[in-house]
Amino acid sequence: MRHTITVLVENEFGVLSRVAGLFSGRGFNIDSLSVAPTNDETISRMTIVTRGDEQILEQISKQLNKLIDIIKVIDFTDGSAIEREMALVKVTAEEAHRAEVLRIADIFRAKIIDVTPKSYTIEATGSPSKIDAILELLRPLGLKELVRTGPVAIGRGAKGWKG
């Protein structure tokens, strides 16, 4: 099962390394990891996506809470979060497929951010499933390169960090 965990940490040297080390040291894989300061510059927010059953998630949460630089661990696996991801996608711009690439980008409200005689680069943002959907349509047209951020998440309504 896929789990999205947000970890609020002290914005200090070595915290990312300790959190990543906790996962690797216990054999847990990180599917994606995003880290940035919050509105309080002394605190960073990590969004970690991992896979495992409920027992594994509970073990991860307990281990994270033991680290000294951790302020709060929030599990958004129950769907109580809004998730967004960004992808940069470079596709072949063959004459026969140019109009189709532009239509797909328009349908998904993606932006064409670079055009060359041989390629288009598209910026797409949305839920991970939306990114998956646009990629599925672009692949047959000549997907040349792909970069994904992985999801970032924020709680819906009252769920989340209250500082």
Q: What's the confidence (pLDDT) of residue 161?
A: 63
Q: Which residues of the chain have pLDDT under 70?
A: 158-163
Q: What's the confidence (pLDDT) of residue 162?
A: 59
Q: How many CB atoms lie within 10 A of CB 6?
A: 21
Site of tokens 């914005």: 11
* Residues 6 or more apart in contact with residue 141 via CB below 8 angstroms: 91, 92, 94, 97, 100, 101, 104
Q: What's the confidence (pLDDT) of residue 5?
A: 92
Task: Label residue 69 left, alpha or beta by phi (over 0 means left) and psi (-120 to 50 means alpha).
Answer: alpha
C-alpha separations of 162 from 69, 84, 154, 157 in Å: 18, 21, 12, 11
Burial class (CB in 10 A: 0-12, 13-18, 19+), 13: exposed
pLDDT (tens digit per residue) in 101-137: 999 999 999 999 999 999 999 999 999 999 999 999 9
Q: What's the confidence (pLDDT) of residue 1?
A: 83
Question: What are the two backbone dihedrals, phi and then psi, of residue 26, each rounded to the nearest 5 degrees?
Answer: -110, 10
Rounded distance, CA 64 to CA 18, Å? 9
Quote the tokens at residue 97: 């497929």
Q: What's the confidence (pLDDT) of residue 136?
A: 98
Burial class (CB in 10 A: 0-12, 13-18, 19+), 48: buried
Q: What's the confidence (pLDDT) of residue 114?
A: 97
